[in-house]
Structure 1
Amino acid sequence: MDDLNALANLLTKPEPSTEAISRSRGRLQDRMRGRARRRIGWLMPALSLATAAAAAVAVLATGVTAPAGAPASGKEILLMAAASAERTPQGSGTYWHVKRESPNLGEEMESWTTRDGRRWTKGEPSHPPGVVVPDLHSLMLKGAKVGFEDLERLPTDPEALKARIAELRGRDSDMAASEQRGDPTLTLLALISELPAPSEVRSAAFRALAAMPGIESVGAVAGGQELRFPNPDGGPEIKLVVDPETAQVTRTNYLQTNDGGLIWSGREFISVTADWTDQRPH
């Protein structure tokens, strides 16, 4: 029983500061750079800096040392992404640009949104191929229209963010059943994937997701670390590839788009890029 109490005390320690995480990552990378290089066959998976750093952050965050070489857990990867998001500048540009690619989608789908709400899209099923079209849809979160100012006012504390999500009142027809009953999972995933949420809000969303049960880590894949979440609506599990160094969702099989739509891919991942740009819609 004493051992269990000690472990519980370690797990409830406050998360490390960004400075502590940065120092630990720097020391780890310095040590790895100092080792002699050795040839690794291309079929043999190597431990990436991101994975190793995730393990280092996990030790700092929980106080529990994993066995040497053990892969980072889903919670640990999300906590590292949270730390990366917190220290990453939000970026600037005229347009919030989102691009999605998947064999199931056919043509690439893209959108450009300005801070005053103007929006253009390309590659939507109803559009002429390759043509940029003005789009009247707004940014959406949990079935409610939101602007950049609304996203910037969201709480930067995980619990406060979940409470704010619970208060959002959108149209039932634009929400999943889980969102209607108050489950924050899909809304949090939307905040870290396509919506132009500020860095601190994205960090809070990552931390809130890390506290949820049932998250599994598959390991390193193209684009980052693959995580699997229980589907709050009872469907197939949600697969998410997160790059913990950049705090970006790079691929997923279940995507709530920034205009409130939903894309589901049964077999193939949907590749996602979202960032600011000054390049005009083209």
Structure 2
Amino acid sequence: MDDLKALAILLTKPEPPAEAVTRSRGRLQDRMRGRARRRIGWRLPALTLATAAAAVVAVLVSGVITSAGAPTSGREVLLMAAVSAERTPQGSGTYWHVTREMRDVDMPREESWTARDGRRWSKGEAGDPPGVVVPDPDRLMLKGAEVSIEDLERLPADPGALKARLTALQGRDSAMTASERRGDPLFSLITLISELPTPPEVRSAAFRALATTPGVESTGAVEGGQELRFPYPDTGWEIKLVVDPETARVTSTNYLSGNDGSVSLSTRFIKVTTGWTNQPPR
């Protein structure tokens, strides 16, 4: 398919990111200290240079061309990440472990653990005893509604069908942005690649769907991957993600979504590290 063809690259290690202009750092800090959370990413094995030749063959078959060089568009970065997501195992473990931290800001690191049955624990949240893990009533969320791992596994692996399913998904009006209520799947797609334990084929479809977003741009290599900018559908601001296209991981973000539908944007990237683990909450 012509709309899925792009040059994909094996990246060199980048330089640290520069800060960008944003709206409401105060709201971000409130969200970092609050208890509304929908923030989960990935920790997956990297595609190494030793496997590059084999990857070229697989990529050509899937409809994306692999070549040495630098990415020239956000679409190309997302399409490369789609190929990596499809080929990278999700991993296994008892708990989906998430850490979130903002550099150079005096805030504790936040951690959460979600079991496969939906139970959740957290540490470092406002109101938690310092350094102590506590039970957390929050669950995995999509469009403000609770979702299970089984729900994620049943999502379509085709980009168009996935967008249609997300648009039709019954959310909670009070916990969705205006664009989500209008049926725009952008936030849901970003949630699937950066926050939830989404299966590889569905994550690949989400990356491909995001590659069709009008106005998505790549500003080049930064620490953790490639910085991508998406026009915020409700205002003139930008959503910024750092994506490592070799591993299909979102490593940083400049925004946090709240379960009440609010969105906070920051002058700094929030580092996100996630993955399955057998280590219990501690």
Q: TM-score range by the shorter chain?
A: 0.7 to 0.9
Residue 205 of structure 1 corresponds to which residue in structure 2? 206
Mark the CA change 1:227 to 1:13 in structure 2 (over 3 Å): closer, same or farther: closer
Residue 126 of structure 2 corresponds to which residue in structure 1? 125
Q: In structure 2, what is the Cα distance between the partners aligned to 1:271 and 1:157? A: 29
**Within-5 A mapping of 1:53-132:** 61=63, 71-103=71-103, 104=105, 106-132=107-133
1:105-124 deviation digits (Å, cap 9, x = unpaired) = 71111110011111101111
Residue 252 of structure 2 corresponds to which residue in structure 1? 251
Structure 1 stretches lacking a partner, 5+ long: 1-10, 33-41, 44-48
1:121-171 deviation digits (Å, cap 9, x = unpaired) = 111123222221101111110111111100110000000001110111121
SS of equivalent to 1:268 = strand
Q: Report how many aligned residue pairs link the two structures.
A: 240
| 1:224 Cα offset (Å) | 0.3
Residue 163 of structure 2 corresponds to which residue in structure 1? 162
1:69-125 deviation digits (Å, cap 9, x = unpaired) = 664310000000000000111110000011111145711111100111111011112
Q: In structure 1, what is the Cα distance between the partners aligned to 2:196 and 2:261? A: 12
Structure 2 stretches lacking a partner, 5+ long: 17-47
Residue 12 of structure 1 corresponds to which residue in structure 2? 2
Kindly indicate whether structure 1 or structure 2 has the higher relative contact order, using CA contacts under 8 Å at least 6 residues apart: 2
The answer as to whether partners of 2:180 and 2:187 remain within 8 angstroms in 1 is yes
Give TM-score scaled by structure 1 length: 0.76
The amino acid across from 2:93 in the alignment is G
The amino acid across from 2:83 in the alignment is A
| 1:236 Cα offset (Å) | 1.8
Which is greater in Rg? Answer: 1
The amino acid across from 1:84 in the alignment is S
Q: In structure 2, what is the Cα distance between the partners aligned to 1:207 and 1:117? A: 28
The answer as to whether partners of 1:253 and 1:266 remain within 8 angstroms in 2 is yes
Give TM-score scaled by structure 2 length: 0.76
SS of equivalent to 2:214 = coil
| 1:14 Cα offset (Å) | 6.0
Residue 36 of structure 2 corresponds to which residue in structure 1? none
Please tell me whether residue 236 in structure 1 is matched to residue 237 in structure 2. yes
% same residue: 63
Q: In structure 1, what is the Cα distance between the partners aligned to 2:64 and 2:114? A: 39
Q: In structure 1, what is the Cα distance between the partners aligned to 2:176 and 2:3? A: 36
The answer as to whether partners of 1:190 and 1:255 remain within 8 angstroms in 2 is no
Mark the CA change 1:263 to 1:99 in structure 2 (over 3 Å): closer, same or farther: farther
Mark the CA change 1:255 to 1:108 in structure 2 (over 3 Å): closer, same or farther: same
The amino acid across from 1:192 in the alignment is I
Q: In structure 1, what is the Cα distance between the partners aligned to 2:257 and 2:246? A: 23
Mark the CA change 1:262 to 1:97 in structure 2 (over 3 Å): closer, same or farther: farther
Q: Counting strand residues as a fraction of each chain, which structure ranks higher?
A: 2
The answer as to whether partners of 1:139 and 1:146 remain within 8 angstroms in 2 is yes
SS of equivalent to 1:220 = strand
Residue 277 of structure 1 corresponds to which residue in structure 2? 277
Q: Counting helix residues as a fraction of each chain, which structure ranks higher?
A: 1
The answer as to whether partners of 1:190 and 1:256 remain within 8 angstroms in 2 is no
| 1:265 Cα offset (Å) | 3.9
The answer as to whether partners of 1:117 and 1:138 remain within 8 angstroms in 2 is yes
| 1:191 Cα offset (Å) | 0.4
The answer as to whether partners of 2:177 and 2:261 remain within 8 angstroms in 1 is no
